[in-house]
């Protein structure tokens, strides 16, 4: 009955989780409100907040799981990719803890973990091979996943990530950071009656910069005619932004299904919380779609512990000399 402690600190969430025999027993996330007033993550502030949060978060994860730290069999942590200062906090903490408990250390790739969290034993598990779509504030990738350690990026964004597109469009509409969940909420009371430009990127790659510019120009034009345009049309604006962003993702997924012949689809990352995306995926009745529970979508350590469990079973352990990696390929 292996017990894995997972630790995540790649961006602005400090998280710890306990996995017992493949089941998540606790999943604690301390989000950092300090970035809100800056409209985005400030790396130095994030690293400082991780330092303050990491011990209480790990303590809470252990006590909620009713596990003593001496019972932990391995410490899994996010090696990368992410903000270097943030990663360093988790990296040094996990190394010291593993060393003091005399248990193996496991290095996890954050982007792989967003997909591998689907193998937690209490939820429906996909089968290999599958197409993974990771949609977060930092990434938009289509991944061909042949096994837990054989992943190939088959498409990715050429500019912004889709979460960033939600956040930046939301900022123009006057919504607080991160705007994705606010857009989702207001979209439910609006109509997608504004057509923003749809990118024309060949193959399986994505682009969101043209969309962003079209929102900016559209708003400028409308505000010249009506200075309260945004306030008067907030819900329709949100609904239209969400409609196009979801459409971009679904169109590329359809292409990936045709190109690979694989209909097993696994979604991961913060934007998979989006209700418009969830609805659009539910309409693809000939696909077998796996959408994670909300607590496994935005950054969390459950995914680090689950991904770590695969490595634990293969005895693929980490190295105390390994440096955090801000850039890390799949």
Can you give the binding site for Zn ion, defined by CB under 5 A? Answer: 136, 299
CB of 275 vs ligand KG4, minimal distance in Å: 7
Tell me the window of 118-126, 135-143, 145-153, 285-293 that interacts with ligand KG4 (CB under 6 A).
Answer: 135-143
Tell me the DSSP string of 223-278.
HHH-TTHHHHHHHHHHHHHHHHHHHHHHHHHHHHHHHH---EEEEESGGGG-HHHH
Q: Which residues of 53-91 are buried (b: 16+ CB within 10 A; e: fewer)?
A: bbeebbeebbeebebeeebbebbbbbbbbbbbbbbbbbb
Q: What are the backbone dihedrals phi and psi of residue 288, each rounded to the nearest 5 degrees, phi first? A: -105, 100
Tell me the window of 66-74, 178-186, 212-220, 223-231 that interacts with ligand KG4 (CB under 6 A).
Answer: 178-186
Does position 137 interact with ligand KG4 (CB under 6 A)? The reply is: yes
CB of 221 vs ligand KG4, minimal distance in Å: 25
Residue labelled with tokens 């990368």 = 80
Does position 184 interact with ligand KG4 (CB under 6 A)? The reply is: yes
Rg (CA), the chain: 20
Binding-site partner at residue 166 among Zn ion, ligand KG4, none, CB < 5 to 8 Å by type: ligand KG4
Burial of 258 (0-12, 13-18, 19+ CB in 10 A): exposed
CB of 298 vs ligand KG4, minimal distance in Å: 3
Binding-site partner at residue 271 among Zn ion, ligand KG4, none, CB < 5 to 8 Å by type: ligand KG4
Name which position in 107, 160, 167, 264 contacts ligand KG4 (CB under 6 A). 167
Is the preceding omega at residue 123 within 30 degrees of 0, hence cis? no
Total residues belonging to the chain:
330
Tell me the window of 44-52, 91-99, 161-169, 319-327 that interacts with ligand KG4 (CB under 6 A).
Answer: 161-169
Closest CA relative to residue 9, chosen from 86, 68, 84, 85: 86
Closest CA relative to residue 187, chosen from 92, 97, 273: 273
Does position 80 interact with ligand KG4 (CB under 6 A)? The reply is: no
Name which position in 6, 81, 85, 138 contacts ligand KG4 (CB under 6 A). 138
CB of 170 vs ligand KG4, minimal distance in Å: 8
CB of 58 vs ligand KG4, minimal distance in Å: 19
Q: What are the backbone dihedrals phi and psi of residue 325, each rounded to the nearest 5 degrees, phi first? A: -120, 105
- Report the 10 Å Cβ neighbour count for 265: 20
CB of 71 vs ligand KG4, minimal distance in Å: 29
CB of 139 vs Zn ion, minimal distance in Å: 7
Tell me the window of 32-40, 208-216, 231-239, 264-272 that interacts with ligand KG4 (CB under 6 A).
Answer: 264-272
In whole angstroms, how far apart are CA 38 and each of 35, 42, 215? 5, 7, 21
| Residues binding ligand KG4: number (CB under 6 A) | 19
Residues that bind ligand KG4 (CB under 6 A): 11, 136-138, 163, 166-167, 178-181, 184, 269-271, 273-274, 298-299
């Amino acid at each position: 009955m292996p017990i894995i402690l997972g630790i995540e600190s790649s961006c602005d969430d400090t998280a710890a989780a306990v996995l017992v025999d493949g089941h998540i027993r606790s999943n604690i996330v301390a989000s950092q409100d300090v970035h809100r007033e800056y409209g985005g993550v400030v790396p130095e502030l994030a690293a400082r907040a991780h330092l303050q949060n990491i011990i209480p978060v790990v303590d809470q994860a252990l006590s909620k799981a009713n596990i003593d730290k001496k019972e932990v069999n391995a410490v899994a942590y996010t090696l990368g990719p992410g903000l270097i200062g943030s990663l360093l906090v988790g990296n040094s903490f996990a190394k010291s803890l593993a060393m003091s408990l005399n248990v193996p250390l496991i290095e996890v790739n954050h982007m792989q973990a967003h997909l591998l969290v689907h193998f937690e034993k209490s939820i429906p598990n996909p089968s290999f091979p599958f197409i993974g779509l990771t949609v977060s504030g930092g990434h938009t990738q289509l991944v061909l996943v042949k096994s837990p350690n054989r992943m190939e990026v088959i498409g990715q964004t050429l500019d912004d990530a889709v979460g960033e597109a939600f956040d930046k469009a939301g900022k123009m509409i006057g919504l607080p950071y991160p705007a994705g969940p606010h857009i989702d909420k207001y979209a439910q009371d609006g109509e997608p009656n504004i057509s923003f430009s749809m990118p024309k990127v060949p193959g399986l790659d994505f682009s969101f910069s043209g969309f962003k510019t079209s929102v900016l120009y559209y708003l400028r034009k409308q505000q010249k005619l009506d200075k309260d345009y945004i306030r008067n049309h907030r819900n329709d604006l949100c609904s239209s932004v969400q409609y196009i962003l979801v459409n971009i993702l679904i169109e590329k997924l359809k292409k990936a299904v045709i190109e690979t012949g694989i209909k097993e689809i696994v979604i991961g990352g913060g934007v998979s919380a989006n209700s418009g995306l969830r609805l659009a995926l539910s309409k693809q009745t000939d696909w077998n779609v796996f959408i994670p529970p909300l607590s496994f979508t935005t950054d969390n350590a459950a995914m680090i512990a689950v991904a770590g469990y695969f490595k634990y079973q293969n005895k693929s352990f980490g190295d105390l000399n390994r440096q955090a990696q801000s850039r890390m390929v799949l």
